[in-house]
Amino acid sequence: MMSFSSPSLGYTGVRPELDCIVEYIPGESLEAFSGRTGIPLHQLVKLNSNESPYPPIPEVLKALSNYTNYNIYPDTNSVALRSALSSYTEIDSKFIVVGHGSSELIFLLWHIFLSAGDTIICCPPTFSFYTTSASFCNASVLEVPRTTTYELDTEGILAALRPSTKLIVLCSPNNPTGNPVHEKDVLTLLETGRIVIVDEAYVEFSDHPQGMARLVPMYQNLVVLRTFSKWAGLAGLRIGYALCPEWIAQYIRRAQNPFEVNMAGHIAAILTLKNLDYIQNNVRCIINERDRLFSLLAQQPYLIPIPSQGNFILAHLRDQTVKIEKVRATVESLGILLRYFQSPSLQNSLRVTVGLPQHTEKLAEALASIEI
């Protein structure tokens, strides 16, 4: 990991762990991709960050431009949004904390619970931001890999527990493998008394969109994380929320900067929840498109797609007859952004976000043009 040094100071005073951070590499932005490849922005198809291909609902766009009080700070207690979320999740608003994207809540929770030397259990392959945040706290990650079918290894997790283990994080459906966590596994892990975090960023696309929310009021050690970035098409406005016991909610609020969720985010999230039918129709379209994308990926003789309950599909290269570099060069030359991985277990895999039908067509054409 690179360290930055001041040309004039011999000593920076920076915490040493900042030079050992496991960096999180987000999906490339449209601007960066366009700059790198020279392909104009309007020709690009962005299928690398699991964003919704649908814009926010028209009511949101109208309300954002009609609102005139952006000179006033937002309600730091997010009373109206938490009340709307309470109706949506059927969980009392005292169990709800709103954040500037669920990644803010991940970062805060890790800092609340993990001191230097503590451990967190992660089950790779999974969302790598969990590891980045742990390294920021100078805590260690105990990796309990998923099985060959990407199921959790619950026995393995129980065996890996140490006195220093403060958190167990589970992603459901899991990014990037797309499979959900079973409730019975969560219940088993809750019995350990450790804080169990279930990240449900993609739950709205799953067969059980209500997720684990209903368990929250029953447990003092369960946190469920959600976001408006995926199903609700609001990734650019950064709104997430945690469903958690009151005592954890109080610590999150204590650790959080005031006014972290901005006014635009509040307006957009509240109106999205008021127009659920519209947005849930988009979710249904994405689920249908996911099935079509899966078939088209499966038609490529060199690809093995994995069934997914998220708005993305992971696909492995069948063997080395077609190399990942070749796939990447071909799709990128046509302006298509996909997600690639550095970890050894996924070096020959790619993840495709479900886009619009025309995005699927363009990708399928690009993949079909690759000679074996």
Contacting ligand PLP within 53-92 (CB under 6 A)? none
| Contact characters 100-119, ligand PLP, x per CB under 6 A | -xxx----------------
The reply on whether position 171 binds ligand PLP by CB under 6 A is yes
Single-letter amino acid, residue 31 = E
Contacting ligand PLP within 34-53 (CB under 6 A)? 50
- The distance of closest approach from Cβ of residue 227 to ligand PLP in the complex, given in angstroms and rounded to an integer, is 3
CA pair distance 231, 16, nearest whole angstrom: 38
- The distance of closest approach from Cβ of residue 126 to ligand PLP in the complex, given in angstroms and rounded to an integer, is 8
Which region among 8-16, 77-85, 98-106, 283-291 touches ligand PLP (by CB under 6 A)?
Answer: 98-106
- The distance of closest approach from Cβ of residue 14 to ligand PLP in the complex, given in angstroms and rounded to an integer, is 25
Single-letter amino acid, residue 307 = P
* Cβ-based neighbour number of residue 179 at 10 Å: 21
Report the DSSP beta bridge partners of residue 197: 169, 223
| Contact characters 302-321, ligand PLP, x per CB under 6 A | --------------------
If we measure between CA atoms, which residue out of 119, 306, 297, 280 comes closest to residue 209?
280
The reply on whether position 260 binds ligand PLP by CB under 6 A is no
| Secondary structure (3-state) at 155 | helix
CA pair distance 292, 360, nearest whole angstrom: 8
Between 226 and 362, CB nearer to ligand PLP: 226
CA pair distance 198, 195, nearest whole angstrom: 10
| Secondary structure (3-state) at 294 | helix
The reply on whether position 201 binds ligand PLP by CB under 6 A is yes
Between 107 and 302, CB nearer to ligand PLP: 107
Which region among 99-107, 137-145, 301-309, 327-335 touches ligand PLP (by CB under 6 A)?
Answer: 99-107
The reply on whether position 127 binds ligand PLP by CB under 6 A is yes
Phi/psi of residue 135, each to 5°?
Answer: -70, -30
**Binder of ligand PLP out of 132, 140, 175, 300 (CB under 6 A):** 175
Cis? peptide before 180, omega within 30° of 0: no
- The distance of closest approach from Cβ of residue 138 to ligand PLP in the complex, given in angstroms and rounded to an integer, is 22
Cis? peptide before 173, omega within 30° of 0: yes
Single-letter amino acid, residue 326 = K
If binding means CB under 6 A, how many residues of this protein chain bind ligand PLP?
13
- The distance of closest approach from Cβ of residue 346 to ligand PLP in the complex, given in angstroms and rounded to an integer, is 14
- Strand order of the β-sheet with 140-143 is 96-99, 240-243, 222-227, 195-199, 165-171, 119-122, 140-143
The reply on whether position 229 binds ligand PLP by CB under 6 A is yes
The reply on whether position 240 binds ligand PLP by CB under 6 A is yes
CA pair distance 356, 312, nearest whole angstrom: 12
- Residues forming the site for ligand PLP (CB under 6 A): 50, 101-103, 127, 171, 175, 199, 201, 227, 229, 235, 240
